[in-house]
Amino acid sequence: MSDETTADGDERNASVIVVGGGPAGLSAALFTAKNGLETTVFDTDKTWMHKAHLFNYLGIGSVGGSEFMATARQQVDDFGVDRRQGERVTAVSVDDGDSVTVETEADAYAADYVILATGANRDLADELGCAFTDEDVVDVDVDMETSVDGVYATGAMVRPEEWQAAIAVGDGAAAALNIISNEQGEYFHDFDVPADAERVFGELVAE
């Protein structure tokens, strides 16, 4: 949806607003920010993860939900996500000019894409006119695209059950990769190898 250049002729990266900073939203933000898209997350910290303790997240033996969230927040912050903790989104609209506007209690923000990740709360998707399934969840394809152009939905809001952190994280990643592929005009693979560690993480890489 984004232009390649600004009026000044400078290259401009596409921008993404993520509404909701649970596992789905932060996973999406991680992938978009890591790959150079301007990424903003709005979150009110009502994630179910604060009630959870994970024994079913592959690759992690046991972790408290809040501890998981603290690590995830640090991870997206490290990649430059503008994480606006405590700022509630009150409305989302799609503009004629192929951009989205997100209103919060504080301000209004424009972006090329919006990824909804508001957990079991589907109000914003409903107000936007996104199609719902017969089971009354947001209808998305495997890339998490809704029926509204430029609007993605992820995590608990797209499933009547099967509410698991691992699934939400996968949904967020799928949405982000679809956006990046869309911007690049070809399928994008976010593949790193051990030799990338120093470049990607610099001093944060454990010895």
Ligand X SMILES: Cc1cc2nc3c(=O)[nH]c(=O)nc-3n(C[C@H](O)[C@H](O)[C@H](O)COP(=O)(O)OP(=O)(O)OC[C@H]3O[C@@H](n4cnc5c(N)ncnc54)[C@H](O)[C@@H]3O)c2cc1C
Residue type, position 14, single letter: A
Residue type, position 158, single letter: V
Two structure tokens written together for 146 = 């809704």
In whole angstroms, give the CA distance from residue 138 to residue 135. Answer: 9
| Contact string 48-67 vs ligand X (x = CB under 6 A) | xx-xxxx-x-----------
Query: Does 151 engage in binding with ligand X (CB under 6 A)?
Result: no
Backbone angles phi, psi at 110, to 5 degrees: -105, 150
CB of 47 to ligand X, least distance (A): 3
Sign of CA dihedral 196, 198, 200, 204: positive
Q: Residues 172 to 201: which contact ligand X by CB under 6 A?
A: none
Query: Does 19 engage in binding with ligand X (CB under 6 A)?
Result: yes
Quick one: which of 1, 46, 82, 132 contacts ligand X (CB under 6 A)?
Answer: 46
Query: Does 42 engage in binding with ligand X (CB under 6 A)?
Result: yes
Quick one: which of 109, 119, 130, 146 contacts ligand X (CB under 6 A)?
Answer: 119
Residues that contact ligand X, how many (by CB under 6 A)? 33
CB of 191 to ligand X, least distance (A): 25
CB of 160 to ligand X, least distance (A): 13
Query: Does 155 engage in binding with ligand X (CB under 6 A)?
Result: yes
Query: Does 121 engage in binding with ligand X (CB under 6 A)?
Result: yes
Nearby residues of 192 by Cβ (< 8 Å), 6 or more positions away? 200
Q: Do 53 and 63 contact (CB within 8 A), yes or no? A: yes
Q: Residues 73 to 102: which contact ligand X by CB under 6 A?
A: 88-89
Stretch that binds ligand X, among 43-51, 95-103, 130-138, 197-205 (CB under 6 A): 43-51
In whole angstroms, give the CA distance from residue 60 to residue 125. Answer: 32
Q: Do 21 and 134 contact (CB within 8 A), yes or no? A: no
